[in-house]
């Protein structure tokens, strides 16, 4: 089945057909195999399969045919050697951060990260005697200093939560490799459609399948893609024994979501670029951060790495938190939700929701304060979206 890391077809084709394995019934749609266990023809076969001497499934904590289809489809999409999926993005990220490290190791993260990723590095790894440090993602001198010591793992996100900060992935990859570290790129905001971290030197690519892959806000899922050898020797034993396994049903939902992901991401990114330009000069705004706009302070790095501006933007209201809340409460079409990558346009207030666990001083170090709103643009008619945002911005003025 697996064909190395040079897929025969292009990404959009792989996202429709990749990994499909049919049962004896020849079903058109991917089969949903809801089973925890598997039967053996003989005691000898059970023994050999359990020992890994012959192929085949043994238990759905290890793997499952529907989950395997998803892993192969994602592997082809990203052009990776290996893929494993987990019950949520954080199930995948925690496995990737915990399985390889031991006491005395060093892990460096970019300052701007998804709240829970930052929490794992700031609060959980140090409990196991792992030294951790955060670096301003755009400060190359700070990266050089942080990576002048031997390091095990480096985690970056670009564009990053919550303000779409950039990290120069190729430059950080080079420094990470000199320090003996592997670079993990959280590519959730960009998606595989708009940014290819392996081509920029990443060792691991991370996704939350909950976001653009599902695309309809239905299920949680997570994926890591990386080297076959490390996956088998380091990640597999860890996930088999800790059990963050993805449910076959959720894998099936994500499989079907992937079929339309290139279309959805292209349209959502196009909508986002239009909305950003239409609202950018509204007098209720203090700043807008959209990777595809030249007024983003990290525009050049984003333009070098991304094929388009993406589906996410952040806006800062001149009237601070009060104006930000007035804005959210005045939205009629757009929902207030911390989810993202959905067909529905969603907006949230990071400093009191997604990033509330990050102390205020650390929020400030990533440029975040209570004036910011994060917006995930969906598939609605862009005129309806623009009208809703402009009406809410007018209300935010409080006049
Ligand atoms: C959502 C998200 C995660 C975590 O994924 P879950 O599926 O919610 O566990 C990690 N990183 C980024 C950038 C995300 O948006």
What is the distance in A from the centroid of ligand 1 to the CA of 24? 37
pLDDT digit string, tens, across residues 29-57: 999 999 999 999 999 999 999 999 999 99
CATH of the domain at 355: 3.90.1150.10
pLDDT digit string, tens, across residues 269-299: 999 999 999 999 999 999 999 999 999 999 9
How confident is the model at residue 58, as a pLDDT?
95
pLDDT digit string, tens, across residues 183-209: 999 999 999 999 999 999 999 999 999
In a domain, residue 121? The reply is no
The residue to mutate among 109, 184, 210, having the most atoms of ligand 1 within 8 angstroms of its beta carbon, is 210
Mean pLDDT, rounded, of the chain: 96
How confident is the model at residue 314, as a pLDDT?
98
Name residues contacting ligand 1 (CB within 6 A).
Answer: 88-90, 114, 117, 157, 161, 186, 188-189, 208, 210-211, 220, 222, 340
Q: Give the distance from CA 184 to its chain's centroid.
A: 11
Residues in the chain: 399
In a domain, residue 351? The reply is yes
What is the tally of structural domains in the chain?
A: 1
Contact 194, 305 (CB under 8 A): no
Q: What is the pTM of this model?
A: 0.96
Residue numbers of the domain that contains 375: 261-396
What is the distance in A from the centroid of ligand 1 to the CA of 89? 5
Tell me the Cα Rg of the chain: 22
What is the distance in A from the centroid of ligand 1 to the CA of 11? 22
List C-alpha distances in Å: 107 to 94, 125, 181, 231. 13, 8, 9, 19
Q: For residue 141, give every residue at least 6 positions away whose Cβ sits within 8 Å of its Cβ, in sequence order, or none.
A: none
In a domain, residue 358? The reply is yes
How confident is the model at residue 358, as a pLDDT?
85
Contact 317, 323 (CB under 8 A): yes
pLDDT digit string, tens, across residues 107-128: 999 999 998 999 999 999 999 9
What is the distance in A from the centroid of ligand 1 to the CA of 91? 10
How confident is the model at residue 243, as a pLDDT?
97
Is 25 buried (19+), middle (13-18) or exposed (0-12) by CB count in 10 A? exposed
Residue whose Cα lies nearest atom 4 of ligand 1: it is 89
Contact 245, 61 (CB under 8 A): yes
Ligand 1 atom with minimal separation from the 220 CA: 7
Q: For residue 298, give every residue at least 6 positions away whose Cβ sits within 8 Å of its Cβ, in sequence order, or none.
A: 138, 164, 165, 166, 291
In a domain, residue 108? The reply is no
How confident is the model at residue 8, as a pLDDT?
85
- Angle, helix 248-259 to helix 261-279, in steps of 10 degrees: 70
Q: For residue 254, give every residue at least 6 positions away whose Cβ sits within 8 Å of its Cβ, in sequence order, or none.
A: 70, 85, 209, 213, 214, 219, 221
Residue whose Cα lies nearest atom 6 of ligand 1: it is 89
Ligand 1 atom with minimal separation from the 90 CA: 9
**Residue 399: pLDDT above 80?**
no
How confident is the model at residue 365, as a pLDDT?
85
Q: For residue 74, give every residue at least 6 positions away whose Cβ sits within 8 Å of its Cβ, in sequence order, or none.
A: 80, 83, 85, 207, 223, 225, 258
What is the distance in A from the centroid of ligand 1 to the CA of 376? 13
H-type alpha helices, 105-206: 115-119, 140-146, 169-178, 191-194
Residue whose Cα lies nearest atom 2 of ligand 1: it is 208
Ligand 1 atom with minimal separation from the 91 CA: 9
pLDDT digit string, tens, across residues 310-332: 999 999 999 999 999 999 999 99
pLDDT digit string, tens, across residues 145-184: 999 999 999 999 999 989 999 999 999 999 999 999 999 9
Contact 227, 198 (CB under 8 A): no
Residue whose Cα lies nearest atom 5 of ligand 1: it is 89
Residue whose Cα lies nearest atom 9 of ligand 1: it is 89
Give the pairing type, strands 335-336 and 346-348: parallel
In a domain, residue 202? The reply is no
pLDDT digit string, tens, across residues 367-387: 899 999 999 999 999 999 999
What is the distance in A from the centroid of ligand 1 to the CA of 26? 35
Task: Please tell me the distance from the alpha carbon of residue 377 to that of residue 168, in angstroms, as a whole number.
Answer: 25
What is the distance in A from the centroid of ligand 1 to the CA of 22? 31
In a domain, residue 100? The reply is no
If one compares 362 and 298, the residue with the highest pLDDT of the two is 298
How confident is the model at residue 352, as a pLDDT?
94
Ligand 1 atom with minimal separation from the 157 CA: 13
Q: How confident is the model at residue 268 (pLDDT cuts 50, 70, 90)?
A: very high
How confident is the model at residue 340, as a pLDDT?
97
Bond from prior residue into 162 cis (ω within 30 degrees of 0): yes
pLDDT digit string, tens, across residues 69-82: 999 999 999 999 99
In a domain, residue 309? The reply is yes
What is the distance in A from the centroid of ligand 1 to the CA of 325? 24
What is the distance in A from the centroid of ligand 1 to the CA of 90? 6
Bond from prior residue into 159 cis (ω within 30 degrees of 0): yes
Q: How confident is the model at residue 6 (pLDDT cuts 50, 70, 90)?
A: low
Match 């190395």 to its residue by tokens.
4
In a domain, residue 314? The reply is yes
């Amino acid at each position: 089945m697996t064909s190395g890391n040079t897929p025969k077809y292009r990404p959009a084709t792989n996202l429709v057909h990749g990994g499909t394995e049919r049962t004896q019934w020849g079903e058109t749609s991917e089969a949903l195999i809801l089973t925890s266990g598997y039967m053996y023809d003989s005691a000898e076969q059970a023994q050999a399969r359990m020992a890994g001497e012959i192929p085949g499934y043994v238990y759905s904590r290890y793997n499952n045919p529907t989950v395997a289809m998803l892993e192969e489809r994602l592997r082809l999409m990203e052009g990776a050697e290996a893929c494993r999926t987990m019950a949520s993005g954080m199930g995948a990220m925690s496995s990737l951060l915990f399985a390889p490290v031991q006491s005395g190791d060093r892990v460096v993260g970019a300052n701007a990260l998804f709240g829970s990723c930052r929490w794992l590095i700031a609060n959980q790894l140090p409990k196991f005697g792992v030294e951790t440090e955060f670096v301003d993602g755009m400060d190359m001198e700070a990266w050089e200093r942080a990576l002048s010591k031997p390091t095990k793992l480096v985690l970056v996100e670009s564009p990053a939560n919550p303000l779409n900060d950039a990290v120069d992935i190729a430059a950080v990859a080079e420094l990470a490799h000199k320090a003996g570290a592997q670079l993990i790129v959280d590519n959730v905001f960009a998606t595989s459609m708009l940014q290819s971290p392996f081509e920029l030197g990443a060792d691991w690519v991370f996704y939350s399948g909950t976001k653009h892959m599902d695309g309809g806000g239905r299920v949680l899922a997570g994926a890591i893609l990386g080297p076959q050898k490390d996956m088998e020797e380091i990640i597999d034993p860890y996930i088999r024994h800790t059990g963050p396994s993805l449910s076959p049903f959720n894998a099936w939902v994500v499989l079907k979501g992937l079929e339309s992901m290139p279309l959805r991401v292209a349209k959502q990114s196009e909508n986002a670029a239009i909305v950003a330009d239409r609202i950018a000069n509204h007098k209720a705004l203090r700043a807008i951060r959209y990777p595809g706009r030249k007024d983003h302070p990290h525009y050049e790095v984003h333009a070098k790495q991304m094929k388009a501006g993406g589906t996410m933007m952040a806006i800062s209201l001149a009237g601070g938190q009060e104006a930000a809340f007035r804005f959210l409460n005045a939205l009629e079409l757009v929902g207030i939700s911390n989810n993202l990558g959905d067909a529905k346009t969603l907006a949230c207030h990071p400093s009191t929701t997604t990033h509330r666990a990050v102390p205020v001083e650390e929020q400030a170090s990533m440029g975040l304060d209570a004036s910011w709103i994060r917006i995930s643009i969906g598939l609605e008619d862009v005129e309806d979206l623009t009208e809703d945002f402009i009406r809410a911005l007018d209300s935010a003025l409080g006049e």
